[in-house]
Copies of this chain bind each other. A is one copy, B any other.
């Protein structure tokens, strides 16, 4: 499970946002390793407003980490 994420460095904030989503999905995967169960649960939260907000809170937390790792892409300005 350790080869999937060689670096937190991305070219742009947009790519950093994609990585934050990926990190969020991995955390779910590590808690519920069964793909079938995850597939069953996905529509449950993707169509529930409060679950969507909670999921985007996890993404926001990971985005903060990725942004810090990239020194907020200041050099790319």
DSSP class of A's interface residues: helix, strand, loop or mixed?
Answer: helix
Each complex incorporates copies of this chain amounting to 6
- How many residues on chain A are close to B (CB under 8 Å)? 59
| B8 and A14 within 8 A (CB) | no
Cβ–Cβ < 8 Å partners of A67 in chain B: 8, 65, 68-69
Chain A 51-68 against B: per-residue CB contact (8 Å), 1 yes, 0 no?
A: 111111111111111011
Instruction: Give the CA-CA distance A63 to B23 in the complex, in Å.
Output: 10
| Distance of A69 from chain B, by nearest CB (Å) | 4
Residue positions of A touching B, CB distance < 8 A: 1-9, 11-15, 17-18, 20-21, 23-24, 26-28, 30-32, 37, 41-42, 44-65, 67-69, 72-74, 76-77
